[in-house]
Amino acid sequence: MNGISKALEQQQRIEIRERLLKGGCLLDTEEREPSPVFIEQEGGVGESMLFLVRNIQAACYFPIRLWTDVARGVHIRGIEVQLPFGEFCFDESYFGEGPMYRFPDGPEFERELVINHKFPGLLSARTPWSGLLLGVAFTTLPESIKGHALGRVTVFDYLGRTASTDIDFMVEPRQPSSKTQATLRESVFAPLDSEHVRSSLKERKLPRITSKRNQL
């Protein structure tokens, strides 16, 4: 079997598996190789935030970069973030339609800065996903969570493989103002404008793929 035939066969297997998974079939994912996806938390202190919306619901946003060295790309199924008090939802429909993503009675972000809408999708070797992920939890932010909190972000592909890394959040118990467009911040007290964030994300270069893969 030549290289082209092998590639076609592999693609057919991926498509069949995707149809089964979308149909609700639970496939065996034990002892599978790790997903060839690399994950990196971007930004510095105060750019990955945990806070409250509506004064009761935990929410988060953080800058992240995903990339792969697989020439044909990797079909990404979804992403999750686990924290000690619960998991988060990253469904873009929660944040409304149009050019802005909005937290309920909370901060808003320009769509071009956010990557929620890329899930599920094909992560290309030529085009990494880089931007903000916005999430909400269906629970409140415990008063015991103060200062910093460590979360675990996991990406799933359609072959049942996973890649993971830790995310360090700064905790802001009080709800950010809905009157000011929230963007990446140098600190809790110094909001940046959207133009600054856009430039910041575009200027960041893709790191060389020499590090060990982040995986469970």
For 58-95, write each residue's pLDDT tens digit.
999 999 999 999 999 999 999 999 998 888 999 998 89
pTM (2 d.p.): 0.67
Rounded distance between C-alpha atoms, residue 25 and residue 209, angstroms? 34
For 34-54, write each residue's pLDDT tens digit.
899 999 999 876 899 999 988
Between the alpha carbon of residue 182 and those of residues 2, 54, 56, 125, 154, the distances in Å are 53, 16, 19, 31, 25
Rounded distance between C-alpha atoms, residue 77 and residue 157, angstroms? 5
For 7-27, write each residue's pLDDT tens digit.
556 566 666 666 655 555 545
Q: Domains in the chain, please, with CATH? A: 32-203 (2.60.40.10)
Are the CB atoms for 149 and 167 separated by under 8 Å?
Answer: no
